[in-house]
Structure 1
Amino acid sequence: MIVSESHAPDGPTEWEPHAHPAHELVWVRHGALTARVGDRLFTVSEGCGLWVPEGRVHAGRLTTGAGLHNAFFAPERTPLAFGEPTVIAMTPPLESLLVHLSRTDLDAQARARAEAVVFDLLEPAAPRLALRMPGDPRADAVARALMADPSDDRSLEEWARDLGTSPRTVSRAFRASTGLSFAQWRQSLRIHRALVLLSEGHEVQEASDLLGYAQTSTFIDAFRRVMGTTPGSFAGSTRGR
């Protein structure tokens, strides 16, 4: 059985770490959701959803003005193999069906037909924007500081000096725990934050400045490499829905 709901909070909303006995699919309209599941950070904007398997502890933050939608799937009646948190492509047919299932006047047969089609439409999205958190004490301090202020442009050498260690040690810690170099990890974090800023209505140049880019063109190139589109196109498609 699928239980579908929608919410429209008055302002930004945060959820403390929690878990559900059912699988959860969460998506947003007119905003963005940042979710932490285990050691991974996900940023969900319009067009994508996040599948969280049953029992997985997760926390999240919803931007101002965003509409939140979620659907809960009974594990014993879910013929899917999403055993890990997965970004889902929220196509118009899938979203329409899940909204349809939020109705309370559907009879059992109509509900069963709609639910069967939902399972046919659930597909992972690309790009799968998930950022692994270090989980290494040598890199955690840097990661926490950058999450608080992604515009911090201190070099690897400066971070190492502030931590009383060597650049090589910090670099190895990031690579070993996240699979990314320090520079790649910071770049990915900035793109995560860019999705939130653009979804909140910030202009491209303003988002670039807030993220610490010296030139807007550098931000645009970085965004295109990760997302496959420009930040202007992303912002336009988000606001146009």
Structure 2
Amino acid sequence: MIRASRGEASPGMWRREAGTVVRGAGELPEQVAGSFTIIAGHHVPRVPTEWAPHSHSLHELVWVRGGTLTSRVEDRVFTVTEGRGLWMPAGVVHGGRATAGAEFHDAFFAPDRTPFALAFEEPKAIAMTPLLESLLTHLSRTDLDAAARARAESVVFDVLQPSERQLALQLPGDPRIDAIAEALLDDPGDCRSLEEWARWLGVSDRTITRAFRHTTGLSFAQWRQVLRVHRALTLLSEGFDVTTVSETLGYAQPSSFIAAFRRVMGTTPGTFFGTADATVDVRNPVSGVQNT
């Protein structure tokens, strides 16, 4: 079993791992000072790294290799796994956390040069196809002439598309049940029943049920299941086996965890990490998928 870190809690995110480095706003590339349309780069944080809430004057696209990125945007938590990206519109306040050793990539887009159709007004999951990744890696070079850069940028705008399905955990934002959400973010393996949570808060279980339905669109059991899958994505990407992850998340046996993962993600953990080509809208955890 993975022992929970006793580090400082981070509201709306998982408890910080021991040794996490907390940084301020992410640094913008030096090229931003000049005329540009897309500037890309990457680095590898050697320790778990967290970015405090901040915003940019530019659109940002982030993606990872060999790990995960978790981002808190207002009342939603996004989990970015390999093969997926997250588009962050200019001016949107967000925080994030990358697992140790993950290859962290980002690309900044000048808002006044980004086609209107791609100027998404809210965060969007992006399908990081091999072509899109190759183009953005190409644009991270510093020796490209203006013509070569313009050609690559034009293709980026042709192939950059939001995923058909999104993966975001809606946080309640309701004082009647926020304490439950924060406790489960701190320890997703907490197995207290709905009745036990109700006694803990001194409210009726019907109040909790109605509040979760109203604020998240999910029942309490569905919301906790989705939250656990978010956490599982990070743990599995860090190399923990299914048995360890299932135990950490409070499942009696691995088969129960695999079934829950399939209900939310539409596939098993092994297939998901083997193909990494599908995302899911967690607003419909019964069927596992919902087109947007």
TM-score by length of 1: 0.96
Amino acid at match of 1:202: F
Report the counterpart of residue 213 of structure 2 in structure 1: 175
Report the counterpart of residue 243 of structure 2 in structure 1: 205
Report the counterpart of residue 3 of structure 1 in structure 2: 39
- Map 1:36-185 to 2 at 5 A: 36-79=72-115, 80-185=118-223
Task: Name the CA distance, whole Å, in 2 between partners of 1:81 and 1:226.
Answer: 29
Q: CA deviation at 1:228?
A: 2.5
Q: Contact 1:30–1:67 (CA<8 Å) still a contact in 2? A: yes
Q: CA deviation at 1:234?
A: 3.0
Gapped runs of 5+ residues in structure 2? 1-36, 277-292
Residues 136-195 of structure 1: CA distance to partner in whole angstroms, max 9, x if unpaired? 001100000000000001111110110011111111111111111111110110000000
TM-score by length of 2: 0.79
Task: Name the CA distance, whole Å, in 2 between partners of 1:229 and 1:177.
Answer: 27
Q: Contact 1:127–1:226 (CA<8 Å) still a contact in 2? A: no
Aligned residues between the structures: 238
Identity of aligned residues (%): 68
Q: In structure 2, the residue corresponding to 1:16 is in which secondary structure?
A: strand
Q: Contact 1:25–1:52 (CA<8 Å) still a contact in 2? A: yes
Q: Contact 1:209–1:216 (CA<8 Å) still a contact in 2? A: yes
Residues 104-146 of structure 1: CA distance to partner in whole angstroms, max 9, x if unpaired? 1111111111111111111122441101111000110000000
Task: Name the CA distance, whole Å, in 2 between partners of 1:165 and 1:93.
Answer: 52
Q: Contact 2:89–2:119 (CA<8 Å) still a contact in 1? A: no
Residues 34-62 of structure 1: CA distance to partner in whole angstroms, max 9, x if unpaired? 00011110000001000010000000111
Greater shift after overlay, 136-145 or 120-129?
Answer: 120-129
Task: Name the CA distance, whole Å, in 1 between partners of 2:142 and 2:119.
Answer: 28
Q: Contact 2:76–2:171 (CA<8 Å) still a contact in 1? A: yes
Task: Name the CA distance, whole Å, in 1 between partners of 2:220 and 2:257.
Answer: 17
Task: Name the CA distance, whole Å, in 1 between partners of 2:119 and 2:89.
Answer: 10
Q: Contact 1:127–1:227 (CA<8 Å) still a contact in 2? A: no
Report the counterpart of residue 64 of structure 2 in structure 1: 28
Gapped runs of 5+ residues in structure 1? none
Q: In structure 2, the residue corresponding to 1:70 is in which secondary structure?
A: strand
Task: Name the CA distance, whole Å, in 1 between partners of 2:112 and 2:259.
Answer: 45
Q: Contact 2:111–2:119 (CA<8 Å) still a contact in 1? A: no
- Map 1:7-22 to 2 at 5 A: 7-22=43-58
Amino acid at match of 1:16: A
Q: Point out the structure with the larger helix share.
A: 1
Amino acid at match of 2:91: G
Q: CA deviation at 1:74?
A: 0.7
Report the counterpart of residue 34 of structure 2 in structure 1: none
Q: CA deviation at 1:236?
A: 4.3
Greater shift after overlay, 139-148 or 208-217?
Answer: 208-217
The answer on 1:218 being equivalent to 2:222 is: no
Q: In structure 2, the residue corresponding to 1:138 is in which secondary structure?
A: coil
Greater shift after overlay, 176-185 or 25-34?
Answer: 176-185
Q: In structure 1, the residue corresponding to 2:206 is in which secondary structure?
A: helix
Task: Name the CA distance, whole Å, in 1 between partners of 2:239 and 2:101.
Answer: 10
